[in-house]
Amino acid sequence: MREPISVDGPLSWRNIASIAEGARLDLSAPARQRIAHARGIVDSLVGRGIRGYGINTGVGALCDVIISRENQRTLSRNIILSHACGVGDPLGRVETRAVMTAQIANFAHGYSGVRTETVETLLALLDADIMPVVPSRGSVGYLTHAAAIGLVLIGHGSAMQGTEKLSGGEALARLGLTPLQLEAKEGLSLVNGTPCATGLAALALARTERLFAWADAAAAMTYENLGSQANVFAAWPLGLRQSPGLSAVGAGLRDWLAESPMLADTAGTRTQDPLSLRAVPQVHGAARDAFGQVAEIVDRELASVTDNPAVAGSPEAPEVHSQAHAVGAALGLAMDSLAVAVAEVAAISERRIDRLVNPLVSGLPAFLAGDGGVSSGYMIAQYTAAALVAENRRLAAPASLDGGITSALQEDILTHATPAAWKALAVVDNLELILAIELLAAAQAYDLQPQVRGKAQRTAALYRRIRSAIPAYRDDRPMSEDFDRMRRLMQDPADSTAGRNPL
């Protein structure tokens, strides 16, 4: 069993993704001390009657309404109930775990002021894999998703343990816990900050990193099949363009295609290849560079306090600071950027698929069908890829510019970070499907080569792996079933790593 990941310093996006997939999370002793210290500051603020947003005032446009001490618990409870107005299909188990992990990480900085018991209840749900049911739609920022998690903490809402649906009260009882009675500020802290966007962003990064490795593999197989030129990925000419991503992709392609007999046979037959083949290092590399920038932003967000207000000082000298750190502008822009980069990799993959199935340029049987006319082969698979690329083009429109006005002009600029992360995940899902189609088409192309020629060592190994799971296509079954099989192969940890080698 893997060692648990401890919240001591800031978590990274890789930590969030690992915990989302099932790794355990522990709170370190220093993190517990920071949480308890911040709670002591909130208690002091309450005791001294120092005004603090959402502590002893209303929220949003009601921020100047003073809440009496006896009503501050009611305020916290009411914030959870009133903000839990999300709609649509729920987040998946992994997505919910990611959001909850990011919440805990934010509280562990020690500036939010929630009680240790509240964080421990979140941890207990995470450890038992009892996941609150979180509607996926209806958020302009973070409120509705987080409120659905908060519902379970107070015994409302619902949760899933495997396939079993539980009420919030039943979920807590299964852990030997009773519903929390939230104290001052806890209701606001539970719905506040950017953990929803950050958690989803971490998953988008993890899935993108895996798929970018598969994109290089798919490009190498297609490149080899189409009789391309052997030296276009040589290190020195690629190095004339300054790009870490380009260099990494070029090195990877050289490794994939090393000593390919197929490429040796076609060397010198063309002056240059079409861009969807020749420009793989430039396009995939640029996407990797964008990925690196986004990953840095997400890690900075995880290292940041995104609660509002933040509490500081000490119980003897308490401070409360109303800032706008819960505004996820950086995340919204980053997720919009990632969606565009992923969509670009998907678009060039679809162009390579088209070249594989088009007899005018491939030199292979039309649509990779062994019995053209009677069989359509991969004709409509390319249609599917084209449709998904078109969908990505729509999804890649920036969410961060959507804007809007809420709460009676008090919240009059919205950055839509959580929707930006959600649609980035949708673009990533489409990339996975498109790459699955390209990998299957490339495997089929090997089967239909007019001459029996050796493949490069790594492409041959990947071809064998695909064929061990998915036989050649002969219009003898629904093709979508092959897509699903290929996706499962791509998702198998034994066949894909976070690094450059999908085997």
Q: How far apart are alpha carbons 254 and 248 in whole angstroms? A: 10
Strand, coil or helix: what is 312? strand
Other Cβ atoms within 10 Å of 247 Cβ, number: 17
Cα distances (Å, whole numbers) of residue 81 to 76, 85, 309: 9, 8, 20
8 A C-beta contact, residue 211 and residue 432: yes
Strand, coil or helix: what is 223? helix
8 A C-beta contact, residue 306 and residue 106: yes
Where in the sequence numbering do the catalytic residues fall? Answer: 53
Closest CA to 114 of 87, 162, 79: 79
Q: What's phi and psi for 155, nearest 5 deg?
A: 85, 10
- The contacts of residue 362 (CB under 8 Å, 6+ apart) are 225, 226, 355, 356, 445
Q: How far apart are alpha carbons 114 and 110 in whole angstroms? A: 9
Beta strands 135-137 and 87-90, pairing class = antiparallel
8 A C-beta contact, residue 285 and residue 249: yes
Strand partners for 318:
313
Burial of 124 (0-12, 13-18, 19+ CB in 10 A): middle
Q: How far apart are alpha carbons 174 and 168 in whole angstroms? A: 10
Cα distances (Å, whole numbers) of residue 373 to 71, 365, 377, 446: 76, 11, 9, 20
Q: How far apart are alpha carbons 463 and 21 in whole angstroms? A: 28
